[in-house]
Amino acid sequence: MSKSFSDSYKAAGVDVTAGYKAVELMKSHVARTVTKGCLDGIGGFGGAFELDMTGINKPVLVSGTDGVGTKLKLAFMLDKHDTVGIDCVAMCVNDIICCGAKPLIFLDYIALGKNVPEKVADIVKGVADGCVETGTALVGGETAEMPGFYPIDEYDVAGFSVGVVDKDKIINPENVAEGDVMIALPSSGVHSNGFSLVRKVFHLDKHPENINREVLGSTLGEVLLTPTKLYVKPVLDLISKVNVKSIVHVTGGGFYENIPRALNDHTKAVVNKDKVKVLPIFELIQKEGNIPERDMFNTFNMGVGMITIVSKDEADKALSVLKDNGVDAYIIGEIQKGEKEVEII
């Protein structure tokens, strides 16, 4: 049992003993994420992970880092903190798989105005849930109590993930060609971007009570706080069975910013907007905010969280594999000759 405490530091707003309690509360969540490569338990200065290179001739490490963003303000309003950790994991690992890498480890960073151990444990529970669903080990993290910097009841959450892929199997947009098709993997909602606009549309900063408004058979807060969908397992399975030429994680910047990143200089993506299965929450946001359609597609995922590009003759197989993984995927467009751009028609 630790004998570390400081009454002087506590008087300044930092209670080190609260940090120890938070660690104790989160240990059971972290334990759920342990995978074969984990070597150290929680509490050390670094997380150790032994790489299994079976079947990988030229290992390449792929890393990704991101946060939850202002979606956290909704968690503060609702005093619900056990799902934002899923968003944090998803924003990192969904990026990593775009080049074909399998996420192996994850670390989180939580900075807050006051360390409430139960709240920290709730946040880490969400992180652990995301890690378990993606087969990723939570090998470490950091909780920083920062009074005077963050309001006493607010916090920020960020994460960092590392995965591995065989160099010869890295997904390369240079392979994208005219005639390929774009397959949409549905999102679970707004995911974790565009919330500054969402808060403005629903006047949440000036009228936080709007978070409890009845919409779409639920409350606005419940709909908006729906965690980001994790695509790791279905996409990795797809990659193992189909020649996936490129992958798009539709996050900040929506269709217009993200799709070109998955193209080469000789191709363009043509999306048929009539085929996009737009979720009701986006229709509500557009209507209430009087937002132009182009701005919607340039900000939100519109119901498409990820896009895979495959040759036309493998499209049916790809759709079948995704269906077997519980993903109701569908074709939303095709690749044509162009200059690394997207057209939504």
Residues 73-126: tens digit of each pLDDT: 999 999 999 999 999 999 999 999 999 999 999 999 999 999 999 999 999 999
**3-class SS at 113?**
coil
| % pLDDT > 70, the chain | 96
Q: What is the pLDDT of residue 9?
A: 64
Q: What is the arithmetic mean of pLDDT over 2-19?
A: 71
> Is residue 321 very low, low, confident or very high in pLDDT (cuts 50, 70, 90)?
very high
Pseudo-torsion of CA 113, 80, 286, 192, nearest 10°? 70
Q: Which of 54-58, 182-186, 193-197, 199-203 has the lowest mean pLDDT?
A: 54-58
Q: Report the C-alpha gap between 312 and 182 in whole angstroms.
A: 9
> Is residue 57 very low, low, confident or very high in pLDDT (cuts 50, 70, 90)?
very high
Q: Which of 19-23, 147-151, 244-248, 281-285 has the lowest mean pLDDT?
A: 19-23
Q: Report the C-alpha gap between 230 and 94 in whole angstroms.
A: 7
Question: How many angstroms separate the Cα of 268 from the Cα of each of 171, 250, 255, 261, 340?
Answer: 18, 16, 12, 11, 5
Q: What is the pLDDT of residue 8?
A: 65
pLDDT above 80: residue 40: no
Q: What is the pLDDT of residue 2?
A: 60
> Is residue 241 very low, low, confident or very high in pLDDT (cuts 50, 70, 90)?
very high
For residue 87, the Cα-to-chain-centroid distance in whole angstroms is: 5
Which token pair is 288? 């209430």
Classify residue 270 by burial, with Cβ atoms within 10 Å: 0-12, 13-18, 19+: middle
Q: What is the pLDDT of residue 191?
A: 97
Q: What is the pLDDT of residue 47?
A: 84
Q: What is the pLDDT of residue 23?
A: 80
Q: How does 100-128 read in b/e, with b if 16+ C-beta sit within 10 Å?
A: bbbbbbbbbbbbbbbbbbebbbbbbbbbb
Q: What is the pLDDT of residue 24?
A: 86
Pairing of strands 304-310, 246-249: antiparallel
Question: In which element (H, E) is residue 333 found?
Answer: strand 330-337
182 with 267: CB under 8 angstroms? no
| Distant-in-sequence, close-in-space partners of 14: CB < 8 Å, separation ≥ 6 | 115, 145, 147
199-232 pLDDT tens trace:
999 999 999 999 999 999 999 999 999 999 999 9
Q: What is the arithmetic mean of pLDDT over 10-26?
A: 77
What are the φ/ψ torsions at residue 4 (nearest 5 degrees)?
A: -80, 125
Question: Average pLDDT of the chain?
Answer: 94
| Distant-in-sequence, close-in-space partners of 97: CB < 8 Å, separation ≥ 6 | 103, 163, 231, 232, 235, 236, 247
SS (H, E, C) 208-277: HHHHHCEECCEEHHHHHCCCCCCCHHHHHHHHHHCCCCEEEECCCCHHHHHHHHHCCCCEEEEECHHHCC
> Is residue 16 very low, low, confident or very high in pLDDT (cuts 50, 70, 90)?
confident
Q: Is the dihedral of CA 333, 292, 200, 148 positive or negative?
A: positive
**3-class SS at 146?**
coil
| % pLDDT > 90, the chain | 84
**Rounded to 5 degrees, what angle do the CA atoms 277, 280, 283 make?**
95
| Distant-in-sequence, close-in-space partners of 165: CB < 8 Å, separation ≥ 6 | 56, 59, 60, 62, 99, 100, 101, 102
pLDDT above 90: residue 4: no
Higher pLDDT pick, 21 / 185: 185
266-294 pLDDT tens trace:
999 999 999 999 999 999 999 999 999 99
